[in-house]
Amino acid sequence: MPSGQAPASLFDAVRGALLACDSEEKCERVHALKAAFDGGRLCLGDASPPEPIVDCGRPLRPELVAPNKLRKRRPGSPDGHAALLHAIAHIEFNAINLALDCAYRFRNLPEAFYRGWVDVAAEEATHFLLVRERLQALGSDYGAFAAHNGLWEMTVQTADDPLARMALVPRVLEARGLDATPPIMDKLRAIGDEATCRVLDIILRDEVGHVALGDHWFRYFCRLEGLAPEATYLNLIAQFNAPWPKPPLNLPARRRAGFSEAELVVLSAPRPGGRT
């Protein structure tokens, strides 16, 4: 940055990355804005209200369908193997947008909030590229299979409430990944895909930190509003009809991410009312 030139707006840079449709461009923008923010070339000076973003930038493919319209494939077949990695890549691509939206959507918060979510976006971009590389090694690519839009839909539903966002995106949707990753790794090891397991080791390690970041800010917003975190969490799950964890829970990872023992007891039991 030339001497005397004011830093550019972080929010403008984040919005540009959020709306980028090409996956490679999005990842490049995310890594560039993190470097610029870390280097003092982006600032929080513009705290004007964010523009409404109903949809984020994404490629024309994959085709987005309802979750119940997705074909189930066996990981042991070449097609099923690629479909499994594609599903992981889609989660990581969406996670880039989720983190960017956190950094763009909510204003007038401590700088640590924005630094945390910019860091998460950069890690998610790296995850996406790693999984896409494995997908390409199988002769496929991102966009080859249909996918669903559930992660972004929850982002839109919580656009006006940072407390609900922290509860339901990191602590519900992303926390499900902590539970799902070890069984997925078992399936991949069973078909000899150790290379993808090494990638998932990296992702699982980082995702604990992402959920922990959401946990930190969820509890921060609860303190601001004088709310009990555990009761508030369960109330928000019910209010938004968010999904209940599917067993088995990855208890060690959830503990590291900030879940209390009391929460884990409740979440390990069937959902109240019998819904999943």
Percentage of the chain modeled with pLDDT above 70 = 96
pLDDT at res. 270: 93
CATH of domain 8-45+72-268: 1.20.1260
- 0.85 surpassed by pTM: yes
What residue ranges do the domains of the chain occupy?
8-45+72-268
Quick one: tokens of 94? 């969406």
pLDDT at res. 3: 45
d(Cα 67, Cα 245) in Å, to the nearest integer? 17
* Per-residue pLDDT reduced to its tens digit, 220-260: 999 999 999 999 999 999 999 999 999 999 999 999 999 99
pLDDT at res. 5: 59
pLDDT at res. 6: 58
Quick one: tokens of 2? 């030339």
Q: How would you label 205-231 residue by residue, b for 16+ Cβ within 10 Å and e otherwise?
A: ebbbebbbbbbbbbbbbbeeeebebee
pLDDT at res. 275: 59
Peptide bond into 248 cis (omega under 30): yes
Task: List the single range of 68-72, 111-115, 168-172 with lowest mean pLDDT.
Answer: 68-72
pLDDT at res. 29: 97
Task: List the single range of 52-56, 177-181, 185-189, 236-240 with lowest mean pLDDT.
Answer: 52-56
* Per-residue pLDDT reduced to its tens digit, 119-157: 999 999 999 999 999 999 999 999 999 888 877 888 889
Please name the helix (run of DSSP H) or strand (run of DSSP E) that holds residue 9, with its range, or none: strand 8-9
Question: Predicted confidence band at 274 (pLDDT cuts at 50, 70, 90)?
Answer: low
Give residue 90's Cα distance to chain centre: 10
Most confident range, picked from 44-48, 65-69, 78-82, 229-233: 229-233
pLDDT at res. 75: 80
pLDDT at res. 34: 98
Taking residues 178-182, report their average pLDDT.
97
* End-to-end Cα, the chain, rounded Å: 52
Taking CA atoms, 234 is separated from 15, 148, 267, in Å, by 31, 25, 9
User: How big is the CA angle at 155 (ends 154 and 157), to the nearest 5 degrees?
Assistant: 60
Quick one: tokens of 5? 């030139």
pLDDT at 2 over 70: no
208, 181 Cβ separation under 8 angstroms: no
Task: List the single range of 21-30, 140-149, 186-195, 203-212 with lowest mean pLDDT.
Answer: 140-149
Taking CA atoms, 43 is separated from 8, 25, 39, 51, 82, in Å, by 6, 22, 10, 18, 41
pLDDT at res. 1: 44
pLDDT at res. 46: 66
d(Cα 236, Cα 221) in Å, to the nearest integer? 13
Taking residues 40-60, report their average pLDDT.
83
Q: What is the mean pLDDT of the chain?
A: 92
Q: Helix 194-225 and helix 78-105: axis angle, to 10°?
A: 30
